[in-house]
Structure 1
């Protein structure tokens, strides 16, 4: 079966593409490099013709509410409209645990995406995942200087490849609406993850955790990013991830 992967050239998207191939199906990558523009909607009908299932892991790096809502709203609307026109039978979207409880700009876009998908004409499944282990490396890479100031965040992070496998499993099953949240095997704080990552890579940078202001900061430092019910749980621990090739690939960017 052919399975379309929106955002298939991104970090998570490449893992989903690999997971599709691993179970014997053919991935169809939806990205500008393959002639598809999710925001303009160009190339979608042609790419999705004869494709029964779409997995959407497209993403934008922003904490700006308007930019996030515009991206996820536009991309999702275009994907669903094209899917309806050509007969897509199952639309699977990746979202974030806590998107409905943490008033963060990026999460506003994910809430909009969820509503469009679940209210749309194409049968759908939405999987909320906790943050990926890779977030620690990404955050450190954007913070220059000898002191890394990171937000106080309590999470139950997970290896991205385990989420990719779960998305493919859901895509091959019947649409379920909101699927049970997926999370990692243990609760961790971002500051602890950052320190352990830096130590593993021989860096002497200091990590300073700071609580963000207002209700958003309280939610992130508290339980706002944690799963609230039962669901699939990853098995790879953060320490195991630190020793894996996935962590070593970004080693130079966090020093």
Structure 2
């Protein structure tokens, strides 16, 4: 009797073990493979050609669940969305074919301030930072090389020991690197006037705090900021040599800074 019971227990244990070890025929397992997936197994994806460019719309994931201007009485401010108008601006500023120097997305990014659409479509802060460094460097080089317009407001005091300082034609422009000289040549008022001459205010995308008082909203600063960002965008996609040329010929020369070849 004990032998029969032990036999039944061992049989049941063996059977239960088989149930765990056996693979049911109804369950199919996918083996590892380096081959590409079948067309029928590809997840449905949206074609890139059908997706609108980022500059033209607010990304759905960045939209707030409610309006950010509930009860606001501030009137809407018109912002350009016509690519042809933007291309005309780049041609006016950069010359013939200037609209082809930048990619479509970068052209819009360069003229987009962070106040526009809460910055959800990208903005030009980093491009402006790079462009400002380039313009300031070219301004310093132009002032140093132009010895004919030496700034003498901080002329050296006559030496009491009748010593004669060392002079050289290559050093004549050092006095131009005054603390305020470079800031004066590229002041935001001058850059803003140049931007308006190019028609930048017609294509610049921003949201002024007071749509009826653009000066009080800081349009001069935004215009200067956008000019810098265009130079930074050209450096990003066309290289430093082209950006230096644009800074000298399209910004500094119109501002009256003498460029020495």
TM > 0.5? no
Structure that is richer in strand per residue: 1
Higher RCO, Cα 8 Å, sep 6+: 2
* Structure holding more helix per residue: 2
TM-score between the two structures when normalised by the length of structure 2: 0.21
State which structure, 1 or 2, has the greater radius of gyration over its C-alpha atoms.
Answer: 2
TM-score (norm 1): 0.21
